[in-house]
Amino acid sequence: MSIKMRFLLSYVGVIFFSIAVLLVAGFLIIFAITGDAKSIESLYKKTYVQKPLTTDELHPNCWTRN
């Protein structure tokens, strides 16, 4: 195997390893923040999907009602 091929494989290996480490660190941070990281889809739903308003929240005077 030539030295160029060894350097290329080494470079590609380091790139893949770096990306893997960054992904693992990202998932650990997400798990630390949310406490639940079952899948990327569940994280997306938890973070970005808005819950529908309840009937109390839809009422125009809901903040002044006792």
One-letter amino acid for residue 58 of the chain: L
- Cα(31)–Cα(42) distance, integer angstroms: 12
* pLDDT value of position 14: 96
pLDDT digits (tens, 9 = 90+) for 25-60: 988 887 777 766 566 666 667 666 677 777 776 666
- pTM (two decimals): 0.49
pLDDT band at residue 8, thresholds of 50, 70 and 90? Answer: very high
Whether residue 62 has pLDDT greater than 60:
no
